[in-house]
Amino acid sequence: MKFTKISIATTIKFSQILIALIILSSCDFGFTNPQPFNIKSLRKIPTNFKGIYKGDNFLSKVEIKADNVVLEFREDFKGIKNVYFKRDGKEYVVKDEKEYEIFNAEIINDSVFGLVNYKYIFEMDESLALKKVNDYYVFNIKSESVWYPFFIAQNGDFLNVYSIESEILKKYNRNSEYLITDNLDKDDVKYFFKMKNTYLKLLYKLNMSNKSIQTINNEN
């Protein structure tokens, strides 16, 4: 698995995080290759994308640097009080025999409640492949040999983050592991954005001005 984990918890699989992203986008969008396949990856992330973006939902922080992206995800935690402890001014819980830093911890009777954060670094040329088509970008992130493309379009101060609509993905061929084996090309990406109301689902808006994350709640 070619990503660097920077959380205290060292054994949780990133695929668990991807499940949540897949639910948000309502599709199973794993590819065998980064997309679009016929375009070389960029060496650096655009300067105006850089920064630390913060949100209040599941995706709690995105840090974009020149050659990597850090994603931080927040998950509700509930456990017995005995798994909770403090060390060096920080609060922790034990889950699956591993230590996790916990935030907003609250002890109620014999239970502990709070938020646990997981952080991952995606490095260019390893677990992150960034492609550009005209003014559009495709951020491909990799987990366990599976590539997940997210489509980016700048709209004023916002970076709009999309996935492909599930109905569109049904036409592509898949292997025995249900990964998409077909490859997109640059014309597909341009057409997706031309017909974005049909072909793409908006997931997040990153505000480059105030560095905030807006999660889009799709009901359909």
Mean pLDDT of 27-54: 92
DSSP state of 180: B
CB atoms within 10 A of CB 176: 5
90-95/84-87 β-pairing:
antiparallel
Between the CA atoms of 148, 151, 10 and 73, what dihedral angle is there, to the nearest 10 degrees?
A: -130
Would 21 be classed as within a structural domain? no
pLDDT recorded at residue 56: 81
Please, are residues 213 and 205 in contact by the beta-carbon 8 Å criterion?
yes
What pTM does this model have?
0.79
Would 2 be classed as within a structural domain? no
Amino acid type, 213: I
Asked if pLDDT for residue 27 goes beyond 70, the answer is no
Higher pLDDT, residue 16 or 12: 16
Higher pLDDT, residue 95 or 45: 45
The percent of residues in the chain predicted with pLDDT above 90, rounded, is 64
Would 16 be classed as within a structural domain? no
**Number of domains within the chain:** 1
Would 137 be classed as within a structural domain? yes
DSSP per position, 21-60: HHHHHTS---BSS-SSTTSPPPSS--GGG-EEEE-SSSEE
Mean pLDDT computed over every residue of the chain: 86
Would 184 be classed as within a structural domain? yes
Mean pLDDT of 85-93: 93
Would 117 be classed as within a structural domain? no
pLDDT recorded at residue 40: 95
Asked if pLDDT for residue 8 goes beyond 70, the answer is no
Q: Which domain holds residue 189?
A: 28-71+124-215
